[in-house]
Amino acid sequence: MKLKLPAPPIPEQLKPAPRRPGERKPSASDTLKEGGTSAVAWVDERTSLSGGARWMMFRKVPKGTNWFYTLGSATMFAFLNQAMTGVFLAMYYDPSPTNAYESTRFITNEAFLGEFVRGMHKWGSTVMVILIFLHMGRTFFFGAYKYPRELNWVVGAILLILTMVMSFTGYLLPFDQRSYWATIVGVNINGTGPLVGPYLSDFLRAGPDFGATTLSRFYAIHMLLIPGLIAALIGAHLYLVAKLGTTAPPWLKAESDPELRKESK
Amino acid sequence: MNRQEKEEYLREYALLKAQGKPFFPYAVAKDSIMAVIVMAVIITMSIVLGAELGPKADPTTTTYVPRPEWYFFFLFELLRIIKPPELVPLATIGIPTICMILMILVPFVDRSPERRPERRPIATTFGIFVIAAMAYLTYLGANAGSPNEIEREPPAQIAAAGGQELAHWEAGKQVTAQSGCLACHKIGENGNDGPGPPLTEIGARLPKEALARTLINPTAPMPSFQDLPPEKFDALVDFLATLK
Ligand code: HEM
């Protein structure tokens, strides 16, 4: 079983001409191509993944799909950027109150491209928050949360909350004056909440006071718990997008089928 | 939406989808261009704006500006605007929680079949209102005064005493200025009006012992200042006591 890709929309002249039988011997690149195809076929024979890939990639998007519909995937790319740069930061970062600041200073001033990667992580968070709000605005004003996509809105809303938790927990990590005091105030604000407030604050601080384990707790939440949840929920979100299809812009009406029009004449 | 409206929508959608284009390569091409733009913006911001690192966190001192990341300004402003103490929990957790729950429930509240924004006046107005409110609060937060300057002359008898007493008073003023009190309190013309009460005449309202108790054991969201070195703490309390 071979995976058949549709022809990409390139002009006729640029398409490679098919090889005529007996014209010449298969070149090295032909052999390579065939090798590739049979490797893919080998994997597919054992996993049947091509069905899923085809379902995801070759579904149709409705008429009128425009640039506003790229905001969701743009948010996803901003998240991927956070994940990638975060991995590199984690190679140097040390979440202990004595070393956190020093390790951040090392990243910023000494590690190769350190400040650049830290900058990408820092400004990437701003870009991601802006994009997620724009994407949410798009789905809101297009009425895309209505039947049958209610559940996808709910998943998205949880993603928004988790994204905000990411930036709250990440803000403490450089452990400079600004991040330290802003986080103290932030945790205290949580503590004023009704019912769960005090418990939430104690959980975040790992105790009644801001102590040695607070920082590692924030770090674990920031780099394991929440990103895991976000990645899983993005998966669910995209599954629903592919399953239900994206909306058409609300002002579009379908043209009636030309076949039907012919008959009614 | 009732059953008939649902079926109508699905039928209409199936037609629109049939008249559309395949996701690959058409939508993928747009998404990729957008991804390149996003990465270019992030890289440019990183190169141009860099990643600053302030002075090391120090629980015992001063010069801090308790400011959150800019996209939390609107929450911080909410605190500033809503002042009566019995309403503070409402502002800090109540309103954000209500907003989050409302956001999750949007599709269950608005179940009409209409999707065009101009024919959903309530939803569209509501959406624009939320955006305007958040933008306004963020703007206010971004422009909240820089919280570490106090313009105040020493009271007459301290100025007359001069010497040690005056120096102690000046030191107290400096500690107050550097401890970020002005982020939440107003002293004279300086500082932000809220979330805390103005301290302009706090010396007339609270005796020294009560001031010290408040600073060591404050009501949230005010942070505790018990870790200040004793001489700074005394200067701070003595300074506050002269505010009459
Ligand atoms: C990590 C954050 C998020 C990612 C990566 C993401 C990704 C996506 C993608 C790729 C799509 C496909 C269509 C498009 O791009 O417009 C989509 C659709 C959708 N998203 Fe999100 N999204 C996120 C957050 C949100 C949020 C916060 C909401 C709203 C509360 C939301 C609600 C929706 C809805 C209702 C759709 C269906 C739109 C339609 O069918 O036209 N998403 N999302």
Contact assignment for B43 to A120 by CB distance below 8 Å: yes
Q: Say whether the peptide bond before residue B154 is cis (omega within 30 degrees of 0).
A: no
**Which of A80, A150, A237 has most ligand 1 atoms within 8 Å of its beta carbon, as the pocket-test mutant?**
A237
Which residues of chain A make contact with B77, given a CB cutoff of 8 A?
A: none
Residue A48 pLDDT more than 80?
yes
- Compare CB distances from B56 to A101, A129, A161 and report the shortest one's residue: A101
Domain A65-244 has CATH 1.20.810.10: yes
The complex's ipTM? 0.84
What percentage of chain B exceeds 70 in pLDDT? Answer: 89
Yes or no: say if B226 and B215 are a contact pair by the CB < 8 Å rule.
yes
Q: What per-residue confidence (pLDDT) applies to A198?
A: 77
The separation between CA A46 and the C-alpha centre of its own chain, rounded to angstroms, equals 28
Q: Residues enclosing ligand 1, CB less than 6 A?
A: A 69, 71-73, 75-76, 79, 132, 135-136, 139, 144-145, 149, 152-153, 156-157, 159-160, 230, 234, 237-238, 241, 246-247
A173-192 residue pLDDT tens: 999 888 888 888 788 777 76
Q: How far apart are CA B187 and CA B182, in angstroms?
A: 7
Q: What distance in angstroms lies between residue A72's CA and the mean position of ligand 1's atoms? A: 5
What percentage of chain B exceeds 90 in pLDDT? Answer: 35
Q: What angle do CA B137, B140, B142 make, to 5 degrees?
A: 110
The A residues from 175 to 234 touching B (CB cutoff 8 Å) are: 175-182, 184-186, 188-194, 197, 210
Residue B71 pLDDT more than 90?
no
Q: What per-residue confidence (pLDDT) applies to A206?
A: 79
Class of the CATH-defined domain B67-144: mainly alpha
Burial of residue B28 (CB within 10 Å: 0-12, 13-18, 19+) is middle
Contact assignment for A127 to B41 by CB distance below 8 Å: yes
Tokens of A186: 């932030």
Q: Is B132 on the interface with A (CB under 8 A)?
A: no
Place of tokens 């010497």: B163
Q: What per-residue confidence (pLDDT) applies to A76?
A: 98
The residue extents of the domains of chain A are 65-244
Which residues of chain A make contact with B102, given a CB cutoff of 8 A?
A: none
Packing angle of the helix pair A212-220, A197-205 (nearest 10 deg):
100
What confidence category does residue A265 fall into, taking pLDDT thresholds of 50, 70 and 90?
A: very low
Bigger pLDDT: A156 vs B99: A156
Contact assignment for A123 to B49 by CB distance below 8 Å: yes
Once rounded to an integer, what is the mean pLDDT over residues A142-167? 96
Residue B150 pLDDT more than 90?
no
B156-185 residue pLDDT tens: 888 888 788 888 888 888 888 777 787 778
A188-247 residue pLDDT tens: 777 766 677 778 888 888 777 777 788 999 999 999 999 999 999 999 999 999 999 999
Tokens of A178: 């600004």
Q: What per-residue confidence (pLDDT) applies to B220?
A: 74
Residue A3 pLDDT more than 80?
no
Report the predicted TM-score, pTM, of the whole model to 2 decimal places.
0.79
Once rounded to an integer, what is the mean pLDDT over residues B57-65? 63
Residue B213 pLDDT more than 60?
yes
Of all protein residues, the one whose alpha carbon is nearest to atom 30 of ligand 1 is A157
Judged by average pLDDT, the poorest of A65-69, B5-9, B144-148, B200-204 is: B144-148
Once rounded to an integer, what is the mean pLDDT over residues A88-112? 94
Chain B, nearest residue to A149 by Cα: B107
A8-46 residue pLDDT tens: 677 777 777 777 777 667 778 888 888 989 999 999 999
The CATH label, of 1.10.3720.10, 1.10.760.10, 1.10.8.50, 2.170.190.11, for the domain at B156-241 is 1.10.760.10
The CA R_g of chain B, rounded to the nearest whole Å, is 27
Contact assignment for A167 to B93 by CB distance below 8 Å: no
Q: What angle do CA B45, A122, A202 make, to 5 degrees?
A: 160
Which residues of chain A make contact with B108, given a CB cutoff of 8 A?
A: 150
Once rounded to an integer, what is the mean pLDDT over residues A141-146? 96
Q: Say whether the peptide bond before residue B117 is cis (omega within 30 degrees of 0).
A: no
The residue extents of the domains of chain B are 67-144, 156-241
Tokens of B191: 């500082």
Place of tokens 């937060």: B141
